[in-house]
Amino acid sequence: MKILLHAVLAAVLCFSLSSCGSFGKPKYKFSVHIQGEPNDHPKEIIQFPYQGQQLIFKKIPEFGQGAIAAFEPFIADDGAGNGLLLKLDAHGRNMLENATRLHQGELLLTVVNGVPVDIIQIDTPITDGRFTIWRGVSDETIAQMEKRLPRISGLKSSSSYFEMTPSTDKEKREARRAAEQEKKYLEDMARRAERGEDVTAPRSKEIPLE
């Protein structure tokens, strides 16, 4: 479990965000950065003021948007946009676990589209590959993510194929398509049930009139 530090940072960071690689060019960028040290090389850190102190984070992120396998949005508790629950692929999961094991008590900074939106404190290793951004994600960013990634809830309701988290670009595309097909199927079943049709039996083909 990680402790949320209640603040939204308005400063815009002018640096290039790294990622773990992704298919095509998504119209959103995520990066998660571990806390740095004052004696780190100036070119390797991010600095900005926060509540009367100067916070320092590593410029190279622990993971980026390419490590996201699925997501689930929610409304931020403090009204600052949306939060996201991220399900990471194998590479991202390993990076997150290593960072949270080795840096107990330190801070993690989340940057979305070049803007720092959330800081949390590490108090236990994260081993399940699930990472929460508690605030600061816009509706537009979520709409762009919808075009490329499946919802976590879609993976849960799909076949046993999704017992393994999709990791490659191809697997992520297939997971999204399968989740969309599952959603459409369930919506169709709901409409049939509303019309009073028997949804326990497969739909028969229409027989043309002679």
Give pLDDT tens digits for 91-100.
999 999 999 9
Domains and CATH numbers, the chain: 2-148 (3.30.1360), 162-194 (no CATH)
Give the global pTM. Answer: 0.69
> Dihedral angle at the C-alpha atoms of 63, 64, 70, 74, nearest 10 degrees?
100
The answer to whether residues 141 and 28 touch, using CB atoms and an 8 Å cutoff, is yes
Phi-psi category of 178—alpha, beta or left, where left has phi over 0 and alpha has psi -120 to 50?
alpha
Residues in the chain where the model's pLDDT stays below 70: 1-25, 156-210
User: pLDDT tens-digit profile of 117-167?
Assistant: 999 999 999 999 999 999 999 999 999 999 989 898 877 544 444 445 665
Describe the strand order of the beta sheet including 115-122 as a list of residue ranges. Answer: 2-5, 115-122, 107-112, 30-34, 63-64
Token digits of residue 185: 């199927």
